[in-house]
A and B are shown apart, each in its own frame.
Chain A
Amino acid sequence: MNPKTALTRLGAVVVAGGLAVAFAGGAFAGPAFAADSPTSTVTPGTSNATQISNLRQKCETAITNRLASIATATGAVQGAAHLTSGDRSTLLTQIGNEKTGLSALGDKIAGDTDLQTLRADCKNIVAEYHWYIIGIPKVHLTIAADDAAAVVGTLQDLSTRLQDDIDRSQARGRNVTQAQADENALNAAISSGQNAAAPVPALVLPLAFDNWTAAQPVLQSARTDLGNARTDFSNARTDAKKVIADLRALIPTPVAVTPTAH
């Protein structure tokens, strides 16, 4: 066995166990990792040729499924409205490399005639490419981070206009204390969300597909940060609603005034 692969598997088993404990109720409950799955135990009495055929079929299906998923992800990256051009380009290059590598591995598997070689190649579908547990999270966390940047822009624009509304109300002599407090909370939530989400692309994009041990904590952290950012944005949205309600409450109801003698 490739020492790197063995280490990767060992690390994955340890990490997956830790994740299951630490994040049992969270979004990232932790992958059910392939290293734990004795899915190709040899049935006694089965001929070598049959074993090879059965294993090859499973491995080819695994590659076919990954290539289909890669095609879907490629479409997602191409269609993501808020991806920066740099992030889009990086993701498409990395996805393309995954596709090329897995396709070549599939060709090799199709030609394997030795059970031991076939098994090693099948393991590499996971060990060298980690499409599901590194590739897909990397793609969608990056898209989410760039979505977050767009949300920040929208919220900042909204905040600027609300501050203008507050200033105008204050200029009319209205008491804008509560509105300003909610506006300040809005701005704090925007900043918090921005700070959480902005670093994510630079953290996840460099992750190597063949090093789950290194990738896992980074992906986990990025996911947590983006979840927190989304919560911040949701809070900011609520704060903006409060500011609007505060200002609306300050608008006097028009009343017909009857001239009075003074």
Chain B
Amino acid sequence: MNNSGSWSAKVGLLVAAGVLTAGCTLSHAASSPKTPASAGPTGAGPAASAPTAAPTTGTGSGEPGSTQASPAAPQPAATTAASNGSGSDPYATSQDLQAEAQDQATLDQALTALQNELSTSDAAFNGGENDVPTN
């Protein structure tokens, strides 16, 4: 009991220490790219060592994981999980969501057109045919 307990405790401590160390490293690396715009060209410290699979980081234009040619033309991030592992892409869907939101206007117009057709039909149907003498 004593021996095994002692070994268990030692192993537990070692594991815990390892987890903490790894956690610290990962946490640090993961949090660094969250501010790519501010990190930019001068933020090459921790961000440069971030363990991401993205081949193109460090443009300073705000979209790590993308392959933009120019900072003036940010692109939506790639959809592969490989570029997402660091959580470094906070705006990944904002542009898409904006586009989706714009579709609402198209839908509004379509629904209005549909309603107009129904209203025209209703008016005729309910109006009847009283203009014709029948007696």
B59 at the A interface (CB under 8 A): no
Q: Can you name 13 extra interface pairs (CB under 8 A) apart from A137-B121, A141-B121? A: A27-B122, A33-B130, A37-B133, A132-B124, A133-B128, A148-B114, A154-B106, A168-B93, A223-B122, A226-B118, A233-B114, A253-B90, A260-B28
B42 at the A interface (CB under 8 A): no
Least CB distance, B108 to chain A, in whole angstroms: 8
Tell me which residues across on chain B come within 8 A of A262, comparing CB atoms. 24-25, 27-28
Complexed CA–CA distance, A215 and B103 (Å): 37
Interface residues of B in 7-57 (CB under 8 A from A): 24-25, 27-28, 31-32, 34-35, 37-38, 45-46
Least CB distance, A16 to chain B, in whole angstroms: 8
Tell me which residues across on chain B come within 8 A of A28, comparing CB atoms. 122, 125-126
Which 9 pairs across A and B sit closest by C-beta, in order of nearness? Answer: A40-B133, A136-B124, A32-B128, A262-B24, A31-B128, A144-B117, A140-B121, A34-B129, A137-B121
Chain B residue nearest to A125 in the complex (CB): B132
> Cβ of A171 and Cβ of B35 under 8 Å apart?
no
Least CB distance, A234 to chain B, in whole angstroms: 6
Complexed CA–CA distance, A135 and B115 (Å): 18
A136-B121, A151-B110, A155-B107 known; A251+B131 contact, CB < 8 A: no
Complexed CA–CA distance, A119 and B58 (Å): 88
Complexed CA–CA distance, A260 and B84 (Å): 23
> Cβ of A38 and Cβ of B128 under 8 Å apart?
no
A30-B126, A252-B90 known; A244+B97 contact, CB < 8 A: yes
Chain A residue nearest to B28 in the complex (CB): A262
> Cβ of A147 and Cβ of B110 under 8 Å apart?
yes
Category for how many chain A residues contact B? 35 or more
Interface residues of B in 54-93 (CB under 8 A from A): 77, 79, 81, 84, 87, 89-93
**20 A–B contact pairs at CB < 8 A?**
A28-B126, A30-B126, A31-B129, A32-B127, A34-B131, A40-B135, A62-B132, A141-B121, A147-B110, A147-B114, A157-B103, A161-B96, A168-B84, A223-B122, A230-B118, A240-B104, A248-B94, A252-B90, A257-B31, A262-B24
Least CB distance, A149 to chain B, in whole angstroms: 10
A218 at the B interface (CB under 8 A): no
Residues of B with Cβ closer than 8 Å to A? 24-25, 27-28, 31-32, 34-35, 37-38, 45-46, 77, 79, 81, 84, 87, 89-94, 96-97, 99-101, 103-104, 106-108, 110-111, 113-115, 117-122, 124-135
Complexed CA–CA distance, A16 and B28 (Å): 76
A189 at the B interface (CB under 8 A): no
Residues of A with Cβ closer than 8 Å to B? 9, 16, 27-35, 37-41, 55, 58-59, 61-62, 65, 119, 122-123, 125-126, 130-133, 135-137, 139-141, 143-144, 147-148, 150-151, 154-155, 157-158, 161-162, 164-165, 167-169, 171-173, 219, 223, 226-227, 230, 233-234, 237, 240-241, 244, 247-248, 251-257, 259-260, 262
Tell me which residues across on chain A come within 8 A of B96, comparing CB atoms. 161, 164-165
Complexed CA–CA distance, A233 and B87 (Å): 35
A34-B132, A40-B133, A165-B93 known; A154+B84 contact, CB < 8 A: no
The listed residue (B45, B94, B101, B121) touching A259 by CB distance below 8 A is B45
A122-B133, A126-B134, A255-B35 known; A151+B93 contact, CB < 8 A: no
Least CB distance, B12 to chain A, in whole angstroms: 21
Tell me which residues across on chain B come within 8 A of A150, comparing CB atoms. 110
